[in-house]
Amino acid sequence: MTVLNNIMTGRVIHMRSGVLACGVYVGRAQEEHVAHRHAVEEVIDFLEIEDARNHRVADLPYGIQKKVELGRALAMDPKLLILDEPMAGMTVDEKADMARYILELKEVRHLPMILIEHDMGVVMDVCDRILVMDYGKKIAEGPPPDIQRNPEVIKAYIGGAAGAAAAS
């Protein structure tokens, strides 16, 4: 599917026209499609992927594919956005780009979100509150500065005595 069609699938939950009306594409179904297309175009513009709009997602670079995933989620108009490893496999530049979108969603659009991420640099930069787990057990919770200084977090993620020296 193209980027446009892929992101459009996020709008399906908002579509009300019946299958028959959509098949003949007239009246209410056409109006509804135009409105949903407008919402999708806003997402495409926000993510700055206008040039990729008509390309197959499978043929695009990985960083653009990750933006399309975010776009599909945003097209649903979520009340809470849950991002599971949005930075996985990305280059440093792609991560910075994705972090910028996440920060805008949080700070400008005030979209609450839960971010599940292993890149601690990204987590520290974009999160207000962090919950740290180690093998399914909660070991810390709080704002980034508290988490960075937490001895249990240092031990779990940096490792014992070496971690204490590295954290100093």
Task: Encode pLDDT of 13-65 as tens digits.
Answer: 877 755 444 455 556 667 777 888 899 999 999 999 999 999 999 999 999 99
Hey, how many other C-beta atoms are within 10 angstroms of the C-beta on 151?
A: 12
pLDDT at residue 118 in the model: 87
The predicted pLDDT at position 20 comes to 44
27: alpha, beta or left? (left if phi > 0; alpha if psi -120 to 50):
left
Q: For 112, how many CA atoms within 13 A lie in the half-sphere containing its CB?
A: 3
162 — pLDDT class (breaks 50, 70, 90): very low
Q: With contact defined as beta carbons under 8 Å apart, do 73 and 10 qualify?
A: yes
Q: Is the pLDDT at 91 greater than 50, yes or no?
A: yes
Of the pLDDT bands very low, low, confident and very high (cuts 50, 70, 90), residue 78 is very high
CB 46 within 8 A of CB 74: yes
What average pLDDT does the chain have? Answer: 87
